[in-house]
Amino acid sequence: MAALSDSDRARLFAVACTAGTTNLGIIDDLEGIGAICKQNAVWYHVDGAYGGAALAAPSARMLFNGIETADSFIVDPHKWLFAPFDCCALIYADPAKARRAHRQHGDYLEVYYDGTWNPSDYAHHLSRRARGLPFWFSLAVHGTQAYADAVEVTLDRAREAATMIDAHPHLELVTDQQLSICVFRRLGWTPDDYKSWSSQLLESGIALVTPTKHEGETVLRFCVVNPRTSSDDIQQVLESL
Ligand SMILES: Cc1ncc(COP(=O)(O)O)c(C=O)c1O
């Protein structure tokens, strides 16, 4: 079956796919979608708001194969790259195209403009805070290897959590764990059971683990983004189930 019909082709100018969905951490077929976009001259955007951080981790890099064909890509350093709220990095394969789309002319804007670089040329909004500065500062202080190591630690923790869930007599993984998200069900529980367990866990000061839904079913979701989350922390949560 053709991926795009003739009428799709006539109307479509961009495709946005996800490199790590919010709920389940699933990564789209970045290679396949990228190839179709290239064949059809459609702008190819990848949303890595949460998952894009795992590009820094060698053990997860292959999950993102094909991302190099994207025209644009975003990652939120305030999610899994340890930066303060609210910082989104937007990266273009060819910034000149973005500049042609977004550049605004105003004589009052030209005073300090050297003709080559003005951040406001690369997104639709003109005014913005220096959101990237805390992230840049942290990167400059710690170096990229510290980021790779920290993301690997959280991935390892999520893999351990998935193994513990598999071994737990009352728990069942709902989807395969790929990134640092584990989605699982507690056999025999109603939505109210999930809700009251989550409130009690928070009240006890152990953890905040909230229920979500998958295909209409109430389930639980871990999203490990803090390298200080220990195996013991996870075990303690799972033992309370
Ligand atoms: C895949 C994905 N895209 C976009 C967003 C929205 O991010 P923000 O709230 O920083 O705009 C999220 C937030 O969880 C996300 O996981």
**pLDDT, block means (10 residues), the chain with 241 residues:** 78 95 96 95 97 97 97 97 94 95 86 80 87 95 98 98 97 95 97 97 94 97 96 96 95
**Predicted local confidence at residue 1, as pLDDT:** 53
Work out which ligand 1 atom sits closest to the CA atom of 78.
10
Domain boundary among 142, 171, 202: 142
Determine the pLDDT at residue 195: 97
pLDDT at 133: 94
Q: Who's near 87: CB < 8 A, 6+ residues apart?
A: 76, 77, 78, 131, 132, 134, 135
Indicate whether 148 belongs to any domain. Answer: no
Q: What is the model's pLDDT at position 124?
A: 85
Of all protein residues, the one whose alpha carbon is nearest to atom 6 of ligand 1 is 49
Co-location of 128 and 15 in the same domain: yes
- As a whole number of angstroms, the longest Cα–Cα distance in the chain is 69
Please say which residue of 99, 120, 142 terminates a domain. Answer: 142
- Does a structural domain hold residue 167? yes
Q: Which residue, 101, 117, 142, sits at the end of a domain?
A: 142
Tell whether 160 and 122 lie within a shared domain: no
Question: What is the domain extent for residue 166?
Answer: 153-239
pTM: 0.92
Taking the centre of ligand 1 as the mean of its atom positions, its distance from the CA of residue 100, in whole angstroms, is 26
Same domain, 157 and 77: no
Other CB atoms within a 10 A radius of the CB of residue 158 amount to 23
Residue 231 confidence (pLDDT)? 96
Tally of domains in the chain = 2
In the prediction, which pLDDT does 115 show? 75
Question: Among positive and negative, which fits the CA dihedral 210, 212, 217, 219?
Answer: negative
The answer to whether 151 and 56 have CB atoms below 8 angstroms apart is yes
What residues flank ligand 1, with Cβ below 6 Å?
A: 18, 20-22, 47, 49-50, 76, 88
